[in-house]
């Protein structure tokens, strides 16, 4: 890798690019996946259980629909909701999101089910998490992008939408280390959101997937449960988390938190979808977190992840184009190119053997009207692979810019 790409001319760059292409790389910065060394931090999850009994009951059998109490405590720690308001489910928070959307769509509790409404829309802070948008598409939920400010969505533009659109039923929020922008929601924005949710009767889907994923110990995320209680808006919040990026991705425990009233309504619907969660896995997690506290465990993750984010920052700084985030936690860096270049950069990278998240994927319907956002997920590579991937990335960024001029 060169010391700088700031003065490089187009001819030199084309040579560099061809040279990189000829190396036959196969690198991937697409998905926020933990690297093997992070997964190894949770090895003791595999220790055989001393007993299958938990509070006198055999975890191998049906029962405990809402999850083992000790596991609901783990969810409570992640979501800042009382354990009684938490469901500890199976291995995925996305599945719980799907189950909640299905509940509001088909059943609705005491409210009109969404499938009886002409139109259902969600506010989608963007760039955002592609799978939230995919869920909306599955449910034919109309998506309205709203911009992010660094401390949460732009409340002014949300107000404008709400004034003229009565079909808003929800908003997706990733309140801490947002995927991909790294936003950490402020108390003030959270309160304003709660206020609007109450006034316009919509739900805040509070996906706190990265609540414990700080590089350094830093600001707290607003305690939305407490804030919502203060203004009697607790029925407007549904909160999600999982241990996917704490223990095993796809082998952890998913959680959903909600008001007691919502939980009473949701429970029978949930009971139609499962008889019991995987409590053997829940017990493994309870035992695991009895031996190591969450903060210490997450500090070990941070020690493995932080150098990767430092490397992204260092290498992107070697070139003069675009803007990017410097997150204080989470799994992503959000890069913004000059308008009209993201697709080109992603295509150039692909030809040189580097897969990036498709341009546009971070926007509803895959449409980034500026064609500018690229999500960088550096965790899955080792440091050596990451360095090669970033070299390709900066060469492609420079090439796309210089070819344009």
Q: Binding residues for ligand PLP, per CB under 6 A?
A: 32, 92-94, 129, 174, 179, 207, 209, 242, 244, 254
The continuous run of DSSP H or E covering 14 comes out as helix 10-21
12 half-sphere exposure, CB direction, 13 A CA radius: 8
Question: Minimum Å distance from CB 375 to ligand PLP?
Answer: 10
DSSP string covering 139-193, please? TT-EEEEEEB-SSSB-HHHHHHHHHH-TTEEEEEE--SS-TTT-----HHHHHHH
Question: Minimum Å distance from CB 30 to ligand PLP?
Answer: 11
d(CA 405, CA 352): 22
Q: What residues contact 199, with CB distance under 8 A and at least 6 apart?
A: none
Q: Which is nearer to ligand PLP, 128 or 353 (CB)?
A: 128
Question: Minimum Å distance from CB 178 to ligand PLP?
Answer: 8
Q: Which is nearer to ligand PLP, 169 or 207 (CB)?
A: 207
Shortest-Cβ-distance residue relative to ligand PLP: 242
d(CA 405, CA 210): 39
Strands (E), 21-147: 27-28, 53-54, 57-58, 86-88, 121-126, 142-147
Q: Which is nearer to ligand PLP, 256 or 397 (CB)?
A: 256
Instruction: Report residue 162: phi and psi, to 5°.
Output: -65, -30
Report whether 341 contacts 368 (CB < 8 A): no
Q: Which is nearer to ligand PLP, 93 or 362 (CB)?
A: 93
Q: Which is nearer to ligand PLP, 32 or 125 (CB)?
A: 32
Q: Which is nearer to ligand PLP, 179 or 336 (CB)?
A: 179
For the chain, give percent helix, strand, coil, nearest 5: 45, 15, 40
Q: Which is nearer to ligand PLP, 265 or 301 (CB)?
A: 301
Question: Minimum Å distance from CB 242 to ligand PLP?
Answer: 3
d(CA 206, CA 239): 4
d(CA 358, CA 331): 17
Question: Minimum Å distance from CB 320 to ligand PLP?
Answer: 30
Q: Which is nearer to ligand PLP, 243 or 259 (CB)?
A: 243
* Residue 402, helix vs strand vs coil: helix
End-to-end CA distance of the chain: 24
Question: Minimum Å distance from CB 383 to ligand PLP?
Answer: 21
Question: Minimum Å distance from CB 281 to ligand PLP?
Answer: 13
Question: Minimum Å distance from CB 126 to ligand PLP?
Answer: 13
Question: Minimum Å distance from CB 11 to ligand PLP?
Answer: 40
Q: Which is nearer to ligand PLP, 145 or 254 (CB)?
A: 254
Pairing of strands 354-355, 27-28: parallel
Residue 319 CB coordination number (10 Å): 18
| Closest among 223, 151, 165, 166 to 194, alpha carbons compared | 223
């Amino acid at each position: 890798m060169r010391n700088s790409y700031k003065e490089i001319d187009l001819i030199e760059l084309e040579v560099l690019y061809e040279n990189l292409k000829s190396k036959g790389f196969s690198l991937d910065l697409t998905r926020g996946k933990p690297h093997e060394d992070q997964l190894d931090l949770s090895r003791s999850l595999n220790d055989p259980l001393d007993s299958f009994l938990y509070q006198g009951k055999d975890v191998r059998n049906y029962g405990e629909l809402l999850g083992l109490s000790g596991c609901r405590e783990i969810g409570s720690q992640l979501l800042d909701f009382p354990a009684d308001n938490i469901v500890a489910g199976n291995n995925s928070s996305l599945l719980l999101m799907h189950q909640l959307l299905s509940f509001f769509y088909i059943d609705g509790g005491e409210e009109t089910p969404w499938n009886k409404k002409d139109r259902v829309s969600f506010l989608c802070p963007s760039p955002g998490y592609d799978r939230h948008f995919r869920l909306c598409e599955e449910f034919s939920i109309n998506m309205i992008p709203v911009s992010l400010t660094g401390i949460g969505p732009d409340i002014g533009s949300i107000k404008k939408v709400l004034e003229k659109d009565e079909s808003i039923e929800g908003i997706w929020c990733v309140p801490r280390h947002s995927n991909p922008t790294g936003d950490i929601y402020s108390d003030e924005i959270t309160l304003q959101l709660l206020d609007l949710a109450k006034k316009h009767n919509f739900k805040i889907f509070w996906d706190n997937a990265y609540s414990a994923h700080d590089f350094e110990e830093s600001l707290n995320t607003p305690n939305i449960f407490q804030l919502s209680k203060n203004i009697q808006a607790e029925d407007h919040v549904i909160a999600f988390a999982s241990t996917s990026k704490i223990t095993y991705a796809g082998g952890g425990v998913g959680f959903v938190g909600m008001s007691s009233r919502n939980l009473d309504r949701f429970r029978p619907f949930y009971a139609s979808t499962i008889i019991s969660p995987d409590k053997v896995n829940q017990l493994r997690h309870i035992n695991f977190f009895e031996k190591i506290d969450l903060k210490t465990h997450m500090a070990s993750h941070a020690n493995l992840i932080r150098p990767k984010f430092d490397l992204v920052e260092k290498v992107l700084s070697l070139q003069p184009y675009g803007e990017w985030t410097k997150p204080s936690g989470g799994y992503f860096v959000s890069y913004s190119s000059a308008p009209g270049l993201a697709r080109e950069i992603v295509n150039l990278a692909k030809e040189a053997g580097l897969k990036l998240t498709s341009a546009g994927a971070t926007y509803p319907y895959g449409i980034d009207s500026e064609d500018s956002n690229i999500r960088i997920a550096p965790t899955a590579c080792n440091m050596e692979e990451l360095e090669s991937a970033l070299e390709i990335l900066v060469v492609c960024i420079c090439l796309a810019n210089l070819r344009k001029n």
